[in-house]
Amino acid sequence: MENSLPNENPNSSSYPDQNQQPIHPSSKPLIAGIFLIIAGLLGILFWSMILAFDPSTLDPLMLQNALPADSPISLEQLQSMLQSFFLTCGIIGCVLSVFTLAGGIVAVKRKAWGLAIVGGILGLFTFGFFLGSIMALIGLIVVVISRKDFQ
């Protein structure tokens, strides 16, 4: 006679999950990562174009008409302020875009859910021809939904 306990089913396996089908990982983190990577690349492209823009190439007549007649600043000062503004915004936008890109990479790898969330949130502010913000929002929503798929 077999050595089995009276309440134990002798046909059952010692590992209850052995008979179940293997669970295939969801493709949601991959989709979210692709959206975030595209948003990050669009943001880097957009802000690089802003960094490369030279306000001195603008029509001086247009800038002069933008200033009131009794303006305390000159045309050269306005161009210098615009260049500083574009430089500052371009650097900040590129940094935000790099975080979005990093969030997309970790989402594809299914690691660091928190960084993927941060990348999605910061991606909302990268603009990336406006399409980048929409893609970052979609990526952020999919990352939030796929929380259990991350390590």
* pLDDT-derived band at 5, boundaries 50, 70, 90: low
**What mean pLDDT value characterizes the chain?**
88
pLDDT in tens, 87-130: 999 999 999 999 999 999 999 999 999 999 999 999 999 999 99
SS (H, E, C) the chain: CCCCCCCCCCCCCCCHHHHCCCCCCCCHHHHHHHHHHHHHHHHHHHHHHHHHCCHHHCCHHHHHHHCCCCCCCCHHHHHHHHHHHHHHHHHHHHHHHHHHHHHHHHHHCCCCHHHHHHHHHHHCCCCCCCHHHHHHHHHHHHHHHCHHHCC
Amino acid 22: pLDDT: 58
Query: Which residue did the predictor score with more confidence, 16 or 31?
Result: 31
Instruction: Evaluate if pTM is beyond 0.75.
Output: yes
Residue 54 has pLDDT above 80, yes or no: yes
